[in-house]
């Protein structure tokens, strides 16, 4: 059961997100930037499912993020102009890839696991980079756009209405977050916490550690693929940079920045990262230096992240 404090926090998060397009302008933002915050927050939360709640670091989540993006783009461009079908196929492609790759690497631990995830991610990056006739190569996949939702009794236009698309993404984000929370509160989620705290004791208790880690990896990548489909739909464009390992690094930064072992921490980290990136990059080409310095300061002085710092001060 959720306590009253957690319910209040959830309600506050929903209220802030539901009103974000209206107050975003007061912090120098706009509706599309608010949508990008949601997309990147979902990607960071998916990584945190593996990193913060299972204790396994992946530097290859951009591969599944990009596969989701290319999946939805290719469906709309080459097969059928359907946004829901594109999202389903994008998530399916990323999840199937995670199932296969996870089975190959699940016995690895620590830095070895992280390095192999980068290697597999780079394989997908170079495929997208070289396969010009299908993926568009370095120029990206263009000449497609997100389609309206046909609900039978009405059509919801997503292309020319940034606010409508924001609430479409918000609905998917909240459903995904609710699914993640349910999984983490389930007995399976509790075993993931046990593995994170002490894998040897978990194994001694009879928990099939490799199987649980594989499932955690697949679930995490499935949510990341979903974020990738929304990213492609937001931009009506996808290119190999979505698959590059540097994108995975951004997800790690967001998760650590907000607070790894907190459910909503990656959302806070993503909001700070995306808004800060947009603000600084409009003023200097060396924006990553400033973001990197900010990240270093947070890690040095607030190792539990921004949300951890807030909670610590409120409890004093």
pLDDT in tens, the chain (316 residues): 456 667 888 999 999 999 999 998 887 789 999 999 999 999 999 999 999 999 999 999 999 999 999 999 999 999 999 999 999 999 999 999 999 999 999 999 989 999 999 999 999 999 999 999 999 999 999 999 999 887 767 778 887 789 999 999 999 999 999 999 999 999 999 999 999 999 999 999 899 999 999 999 999 999 999 999 999 999 999 999 999 999 999 999 999 999 888 999 999 999 999 998 898 888 887 877 887 888 888 878 877 788 777 766 655 5
Is residue 261 classed exposed, middle or buried when 0-12, 13-18 and 19+ CB atoms within 10 A define those classes?
A: middle
Which parts of 18-152 are beta strand (E)? Answer: 149-150
Residue with tokens 């006739």: 133
Cβ–Cβ under 8 Å, residues 299 and 253: no
Distance between CA atoms of 230 and 235, rounded to whole angstroms?
9
For residue 247, what pLDDT is reported?
A: 94
3-state secondary structure of 218: helix
Q: What is the DSSP letter of 52?
A: T
The DSSP code for 167 is H
pLDDT at 118: 94
* HSE-CB for 232 with a 13 A CA cutoff: 38
Three-state SS at 311: helix
Q: How far apart are CA 153 and CA 220, in angstroms?
A: 35
This prediction's pTM: 0.94
């Amino acid at each position: 059961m959720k306590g009253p404090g957690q319910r209040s926090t959830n309600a506050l998060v929903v209220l802030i997100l539901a009103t974000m397009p209206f107050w975003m302008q007061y912090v120098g933002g706009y509706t599309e930037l608010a949508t990008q915050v949601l997309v990147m927050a979902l990607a960071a939360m998916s990584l945190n499912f593996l990193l913060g709640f299972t204790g396994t670091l992946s530097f290859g989540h951009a591969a599944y993020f990009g596969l989701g993006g290319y999946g939805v783009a290719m469906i709309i461009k080459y097969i059928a102009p359907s946004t829901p079908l594109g999202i389903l196929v994008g998530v399916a492609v990323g999840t199937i890839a995670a199932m296969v790759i996870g089975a190959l690497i699940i016995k690895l631990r620590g830095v070895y696991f992280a390095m192999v995830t980068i290697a597999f991610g780079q394989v997908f990056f170079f495929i997208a980079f070289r396969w010009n006739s299908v993926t568009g190569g370095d120029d990206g996949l263009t000449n497609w756009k997100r389609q309206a939702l046909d609900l039978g009794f009405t059509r919801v236009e997503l292309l020319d209405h940034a606010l409508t698309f924001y609430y479409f993404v918000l609905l998917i984000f909240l459903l995904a977050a609710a699914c993640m929370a349910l999984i983490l509160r389930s007995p399976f989620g509790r075993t993931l916490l046990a593995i994170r705290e002490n894998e040897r004791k978990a194994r001694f208790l009879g928990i099939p550690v490799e199987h649980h880690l594989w499932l955690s990896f697949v679930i995490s990548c499935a949510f990341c693929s979903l974020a990738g489909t929304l990213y492609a739909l937001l931009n009506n464009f996808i290119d190999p940079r979505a698959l590059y390992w540097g994108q995975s690094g951004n997800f790690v930064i967001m998760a650590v920045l907000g607070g790894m072992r907190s459910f909503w921490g990656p959302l806070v980290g993503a909001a700070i990262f995306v808004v800060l990136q947009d603000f600084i990059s409009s003023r200097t080409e060396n924006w990553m230096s400033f973001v990197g310095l900010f990240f270093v300061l947070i890690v040095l002085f607030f190792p539990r992240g921004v949300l951890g710092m807030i909670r610590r001060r409120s409890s004093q």
